[in-house]
Amino acid sequence: MKLDFTPEETAFRDEVRAFLKEALPGDLRRKMIDREHLGKEDIVRWQRILNARGWAVTHWPVEYGGQAWTPAQRYIFQEEMALAHAPEGSPFNVNMIGPVLCKFGTPAQKEKFLAATANIDIWWCQGFSEPGAGSDLASLKTTAVRVKDSGGDHYVLNGQKIWTTQAQHADWMFGLFRTDSSGRKQQGITFLLLDMKTPGITVRPIETIDGGHDANEVFFDDVRVPVDNVVGEEGKGWDVAKHLLGSERSGIARIGLSKERLSQLRALERRLTDDGTLTPAEQARLAHKLAEVEVELRALELTQLRVVAADAHGGGANAAASILKVKGTEMQQRMTELVLELAGPAGLATAPHDPAGGDDAEDGWVAAAAPFYFTMRKVSIFGGSNEIQKNIIAKTLLGL
């Protein structure tokens, strides 16, 4: 097994680095460093820059705008994006519905949606979870009843979704709906695409613990959806959903992001040491904790590289995705705990960053410490909670 980069891979890394230095707008980079909330317009702007370079949807099949990159190139690209403080595109567009439509979409659906999805001319949201159907997703109850009448061949939707991220901005939703409840619960689920402007859809905000509003409840009251909007076959939506959830977890370890956060922690450590804030005993304790995190992060990185190497030879990558998800999200949360600990009371400050200030990353990061700590609680819940990932590891890897 070879874990070093080849000369070609190193050249590729330099090319990505140079592009990001040139193309990433300074204000977006600043917002990322300061952990400021990125609005829809920020994400759309950046994704369109990437798309113009051909790098917005790199893992899609080449005929739909992807890149024929090796797994190592994909890893390098992700890591360089994180190290440059580049925002990620909309995961709903890039990692979820795009790959699903490439694989299961009809020619008409591909024609209508794929290019617009890559460029975020359409902003998607994901309508999977319901009250009572999260980890046990197949228990979902929102119904889609097929009706043929003077208005055409339609499904009529009734029920509720919950936790629908970005539904308030979405043009379209992809979701799972029950078209038959007579068989096993995984059967009778249909994957549908729906225009969020359709009459009968109500979006209600959920305020989360970080004070933000990204999540929503979405209610359906006799919402009519044309049968042409089924992805795959009626009643076979569970297969489509499994494919989508696999893509969702890809890259979820976000090691580049954690490395970049560790370097910010190191900068903070230096500053607090230099200005005499930390006593020698506190310095020693902090140095120990940072070394521990660094070792774990390096181990995780090597694991990811091994998965990448195995994937290149056609083996074992999927089974390891759950391990990477669990450990990667634990590391992301550990970073937020350390910065909160270091920031102390200053971590509660809410003063906005002075945009006229220099490029020094620390102040904005300290001010955002508490909201950031709270917002990162979610990473061990969504994309399949870490407890569920541990069940998968127990079953598929350990045979328990």
Ligand X SMILES: Cc1cc2nc3c(=O)[nH]c(=O)nc-3n(C[C@H](O)[C@H](O)[C@H](O)COP(=O)(O)OP(=O)(O)OC[C@H]3O[C@@H](n4cnc5c(N)ncnc54)[C@H](O)[C@@H]3O)c2cc1C
Kindly state the number of chain residues that form the binding site for ligand X, as judged by CB under 6 A.
17
Query: Where is 143: in which H helix or E strand?
Result: strand 143-149
Query: Where is 175: in which H helix or E strand?
Result: strand 172-178
Neighbours of 230 (CB within 10 A): 25
Single out the residue of 128, 172, 174, 372 in contact with ligand X (rule: CB under 6 A). Answer: 128
State the Cα–Cα distance between residues 324 and 306, nearest whole angstrom. Answer: 11
Helix, strand, or coil (residue 154): strand
Please give the radius of gyration of the chain, using alpha carbons only, rounded to the nearest integer.
22
Tell me the residue nearest to ligand X as measured from the CB.
Answer: 134
| Minimum distance, C-beta of residue 182 to ligand X, in the bound complex (Å) | 24
Residue holding tokens 């119904």?
143
Q: What type of residue sits at position 307?
A: V
| Minimum distance, C-beta of residue 146 to ligand X, in the bound complex (Å) | 23
Cβ proximity to ligand X: between 106 and 158 the closer is 158
Single out the residue of 47, 73, 117, 165 in contact with ligand X (rule: CB under 6 A). Answer: 165
b/e 104-124 (16+ beta carbons within 10 angstroms → b) = bbeeebbebbbeebbbbebbb
Per CB under 6 A, 134 contacts ligand X = yes
Cβ proximity to ligand X: between 69 and 374 the closer is 374
Single out the residue of 47, 58, 93, 129 in contact with ligand X (rule: CB under 6 A). Answer: 129
Per CB under 6 A, 325 contacts ligand X = no
State the Cα–Cα distance between residues 354 and 292, nearest whole angstrom. Answer: 33
Alpha carbons within 13 angstroms on the beta-carbon side of residue 219 total: 6
Cβ proximity to ligand X: between 215 and 230 the closer is 215
State the Cα–Cα distance between residues 327 and 20, nearest whole angstrom. Answer: 28
Per CB under 6 A, 135 contacts ligand X = yes
| Minimum distance, C-beta of residue 30 to ligand X, in the bound complex (Å) | 25
Per CB under 6 A, 164 contacts ligand X = yes
Beta bridge partners of 172: 124, 195
From the candidates 36, 248, 269, 301, which is the catalytic residue?
248
Q: How far is CA 149 from the centre of its chain?
A: 40
67 with 399: CB under 8 angstroms?
A: no
Per CB under 6 A, 96 contacts ligand X = no
Neighbours of 315 (CB within 10 A): 11
Opening angle at CA 204, ends 241 and 155, nearest 5: 45
Scanning residues 203 to 262, which ones bind ligand X (CB under 6 A)?
215
Scanning residues 379 to 398, which ones bind ligand X (CB under 6 A)?
381-382, 385, 387-388, 391
Q: Based on the residue annotation, tell me whether 207 is a catalytic residue of this protein.
A: no
Closest to 127 measured CA to CA, from 51, 229, 46, 43: 229
Per CB under 6 A, 93 contacts ligand X = no
Residues in contact with ligand X, shown as a per-residue x/- string from 359 to 378 under the rule CB under 6 A = -------------------x
Per CB under 6 A, 113 contacts ligand X = no
Cβ proximity to ligand X: between 73 and 129 the closer is 129
Cβ proximity to ligand X: between 72 and 194 the closer is 194
* Active site amino acids: 248
Binding site for ligand X (CB under 6 A): 126-129, 134-135, 163-165, 215, 378, 381-382, 385, 387-388, 391
